[in-house]
Amino acid sequence: MEPNILIPMPILDKPLHELQEYRGINPRPDDFDTFWDKSLKDLDNTKPNVEMTPVNVLGNTNAELFDLYFTGVGGARVYAKSPAQGRKKAGPGGGAIPWLQRQQRRLVGQIELRQRRLRRRRARLPRPGRPQRRQLAGHGKYSPGPHHSRARRSAGADAFSPNLPRYRATRAHRHGPARSRPHPRRRHGRIAGRRVDHRLRRAGAAHSPGRFRLPPPTTSACGKWTSPRMPTRT
Amino acid sequence: MDLAKDAYQDLKNYFRRSDPLHERVEEIFTKLGYIDIQHLAQRIKAEVLMAITLMDNICPPSTQFATYNKITSKKEALIYRDFGHENLPLFSDRIFRFMMGLKD
């Protein structure tokens, strides 16, 4: 029994048992062997004259690209592009896409600036286990001082995350938020620590220790009940 | 299976542009026979380990088997039934073992 006939697998081309006997249908040229013997012999006798010219592409520093030329069968000059891994420095000049190079330079510049700032801050901040005094050379204004916790002072530079901006006290932090004036038509407020509804107060509601009571309903000229907010003048 | 796509799309394009009625199909495929790998397989003298995938649209199984069946040297085929033109699990290990065996 053919072992693979009964296996229900997806077959895109031919059944496997046919493929195992398949030998192709493309015709073989009569002078196939002659052609390849001659071609390989010619190739052995051909000097490749390899020429590799570096190409600056997009200022990429992680790869190098070369224009590759060599001589093939029949003296034909073959051209190819050959990439290679490398750490080539980007040239100061332009590239194929100037705006992309500008973006890349800007990003690299930002990273370098951040690293430089971080190095400077670390150099300024006291190291763990060192005296935490302001008179240290290069001590920063916002470095851990006596008013900081012991843990933060002993942590030194490690207490600051390099990814966060340095804490800088603003006026609101020092003095608290500015106190706003109450809205003249505010609804709720406090009188002697007790919450009152100012709209009811304005409408004449009586204040009692337990709860607020609405004023007794008044009758308007047309005989209907009116809102206690708008008491009828008598 | 439509083989006239992906890697073989150019054949279809060529006939559509240059020989719509396929009047020179024998001549064209005979020319292509000079660079057909299946005809070069008989020149292989070394031992061969070959992975064959049955779901491959790029290198259809018939083209792989046509070449493999014409290899006359010692050979072994690993058949991946559910895989196409992609990374094949365990094949790297098999290659390593195969090459270590050749060393002995």
Cα gap A209→A194, rounded to integer Å: 9
pLDDT at A156 over 70: no
Q: Which residues pair with B78 in a beta bridge?
A: B51
Distance CA A60, CA A46 (A): 35
Q: Return d(Cα A121, Cα A140) in angstroms, integer.
A: 8
Give the pLDDT score at A120: 75
From the number of C-beta atoms within 10 Å of its C-beta (0-12, 13-18, 19+), residue A56 rates as: middle
Mean pLDDT throughout B33-50? Answer: 94
Residue A24 falls inside a structural domain? no
Sign for the pseudo-dihedral over CA of A167, A173, A175, A181: positive
A11 touches chain B (CB under 8 A): yes
pLDDT value at A136 more than 80: no
Q: Is residue B27 over pLDDT 50?
A: yes
Task: Please tell me which of the candidates A7, A23, A36 has its beta carbon nearest to residue B69.
Answer: A23
- Asked if B24 has any chain A CB less than 8 Å from its own CB, the reply is no
3-state helix vs strand vs coil in chain B, percent to 5? 50, 10, 40
Distance from C-alpha of A106 to C-alpha of A114, rounded to nearest angstrom:
12
Average pLDDT for residues B8-35, to the nearest whole number?
A: 92
- Three-state SS for B11? helix
Chain B CA closest to residue A35: B34
Mean pLDDT for A204-211 is 55
Looking at CA atoms only, how far is residue A71 from chain B in angstroms? 19
Domain that holds residue A109: 97-125
Put simply, the answer to whether A13 touches B60 (Cβ < 8 Å) is yes
The predicted model gives A8-17 an average pLDDT of 67
User: How many beta carbons lie within 10 A of that of residue B41, not counting itself?
Assistant: 19
pLDDT in tens, A216-227: 655 555 555 555
Residue A221 tokens read as 């000229």
- Which helix (H) or strand (E) covers residue B37, if one does? helix B37-40
ipTM of the complex: 0.83
In a domain, A4, yes or no: no
- Return d(Cα A182, Cα A189) in angstroms, integer: 9
Give A90→chain B minimum CA distance, Å: 34
Q: How far is A1 from chain B (nearest CA, A)?
A: 19
Is B61 within 8 Å of A23 when comparing Cβ atoms? no
Considering only residues B83 and A134, tell me which one the structure prediction assigns the higher pLDDT. B83
Contact A16/B54, CB-based, under 8 Å? yes
In a domain, A13, yes or no: no
- In the predicted model, what is the mean pLDDT of residues A184-205? 69
Look at residues A55, A86, A117 and tell me which one is the last residue of a structural domain: A86
Compute the count of residue pairs across chains A and B with CB atoms less than 8 Å apart. Answer: 72
Show the tokens assigned to A212. 């607020």
How many domains would you assign to chain A? 2
Query: Which of B 30-69 lie inside 8 A of A, CB atoms?
Result: 30-34, 36, 38-40, 43, 54-57, 60-63, 65-67, 69
Mean pLDDT, residues B46-56 taken together: 93
- Shared-domain flag, residues A50 and A78: yes
